[in-house]
Amino acid sequence: MMLLEELKYRGLVNQMTDESGLTELLNKEKVSLYCGFDPTGDSLHIGHLLTIITLRRFQLEGHKPLPLVGGATGLIGDPSGKKAERTLNEQSVVEGYSDKIREQLKRFLDFDGENGAELKNNYDWISEMSVVDFLRDVGKNFSLNYMLAKDSVESRIQSGISFTEFSYMILQSYDFYHLYKEENCKLQIGGSDQWGNITAGLEFIRKMYGQDEDEKAKAFGFTIPLVTKADGTKFGKTEGGAIWLDPEKTSPYEFYQFLLNTDDNDVIKFLKFFTFLSQDDISALEKEVAERPHERAAQKRLAEELTAFVHNEGAVQQAKNISAALFGGGDLKALSADEVMQGFKDVPSFTIEEGKGLIDVLVEGGVSPSKRQAREDIKNGAVYINGDRCQEMDKSMGPEDKIDGQFTIIRRGKKKNFLVHYKG
C-alpha cells in the first residue's frame, strides 16, 4: 500500500495541501520532512506520540525525518489552541527542557543510515537574526490581514494576544523556509492545530522563491487529527494528569495500565494510530473485540506494542508481572524492587526497623488505628504480608518478609495497601 493510503487507512490525515502533488513527490523521490516540538515542559507526553510515530512511518518508507526542538519558539509561545497567554519561561529553563526532549526523540527514530534522522533546534538560526533583519526580510512577507484570518490568532482577538505570540506564526514559517533552503525539506507535518502555521510557512516559501509556476517552490504540509476518545474527551489525560513519556513522571507500569484500560469503542482506532501492526492483524483484533470483548485481547496488544515502543520489552514484562501480582493472583514476593516501586507508587508508605513486632508496625504505620484494633485485624484474618494472610499475634518483621531484600507490602482488608521501607 502507498504511504499516503496507509496513513489514510489509519486515520492519520486531517488536512493536506495538494494531495496529488505530494503523492507524486513521495512516489518519485525520498523526501526530508520535519515536525516541531516546543520545549514547554521537561518531557513529551503521549499526545506527542502520534506525530513521532508518523515521522517513523515515513522513515520506514525511506524518507528522512528532521525532528525539530523549538529552542527559540519555545521562548515565545504558540497561541494555537490556547485561550490565554502562556507564561514565558527563562532561557535556561527552556534550554534544559530542550535537552531532555532531544534525548527523548532519539529513542523513537533511527539516527543512522542513509535516511537517518537529524535533530534540529531553531534557536541555532533564529537567534542569529537581528530585529531589523527579521522585520525587513521575514516580517515584510506577512500581511496583517493574512495573519488575522488564521484561527490561532482570530480565536484570541477578543481575549487578547501579545505581539510576542502574534509573531509565533512568522517564526515557524521561517523554520520551514530555512529547512527547505538548507536541508531540501519539502514537507512539514503537525497536529491539527498547526494547520495555520504550516500553510503560512508554505506561503512564505512561495514568496521567497517567486510567483512563476515553473519556478514556484514545491513544498507540502499535512496535519494529523487531534486524538479524542469516543466520549469526546481528550486522549492522554487522567485524574493524575498527563501520561508522560518520561518513566520518572509516568512509570512504564502506569503507562501500560492506562492503555490496558482503553474503552472497546476506542481500541481499534488507537491500534491504527499508535502501532505498526498490519491491517490483517488489526482486523483480527477487531473481530476479537466484537466476539469476545471480555478477553480484552486488543487492549492487551495495544498496551504491549506501545509500552515496548516508548520504553522497551523489559518494561512490558515488568508491567505484566506487576499486573499479575496485583490483579491476577500472582506472587508479590517474586517482584523486583523496581516493580514494587512502580506498582505501589501511590500507596501510603512508612519506614520501620527490622525486627519490630507486627502489632506495633500496624499502629505506627496507620494500618490499624490502635493496638486493640490491630489484634482484631490479625485475629480476623484481615492482615496480609506480601499477599499472604498473617494471623500470628507475636509476628516480628524479619528478612523473610522483604521483597527483593528491600520492601514489605502490608494489606488490610481487600484493597488498603501500605508499602513498608526499612531503616538502614
Q: Which residues are annotated as a binding site for L-tyrosine?
A: 34, 168, 172
Binding residues: 34, 168, 172, 237
186 a catalytic residue: no
| CB environment 287-323: b (16+ within 10 A), e (fewer) | ebbeeeeeebbbbbbbbbbbbbbbbeeebbebbbbbb
Catalytic pick among 8, 45, 102, 249: 45
Catalytic pick among 18, 42, 193, 264: 193
Catalytic pick among 234, 287, 389, 421: 234
377 a catalytic residue: no
CA distance 70 to 80: 15
Distance of CA 202 to the CA centre of its chain: 28
24 Cβ contact partners less than 8 Å away, ≥ 6 residues apart: none
Phi first, then psi: what are they for 22, rounded to 5°?
-70, -40
CA distance 409 to 421: 9
408 a catalytic residue: no
73 a catalytic residue: no
Catalytic pick among 102, 206, 229, 237: 237
CB atoms within 10 A of CB 157: 9
Place of cell 508508605: 349
Catalytic pick among 10, 38, 48, 188: 48
Catalytic pick among 106, 133, 228, 238: 238
Catalytic pick among 8, 57, 82, 249: 82
Catalytic pick among 17, 23, 40, 373: 40
CB 117 within 8 A of CB 64: yes
Catalytic pick among 172, 250, 257, 262: 172
Binding residues for ATP: 237
45 a catalytic residue: yes
234 a catalytic residue: yes
246 Cβ contact partners less than 8 Å away, ≥ 6 residues apart: 42, 43, 44, 100, 104
106 a catalytic residue: no
172 a catalytic residue: yes
Catalytic pick among 8, 57, 86, 207: 86
CA distance 69 to 399: 49
Which residue numbers are catalytic? 40, 45, 48, 82, 86, 172, 193, 234, 237-238
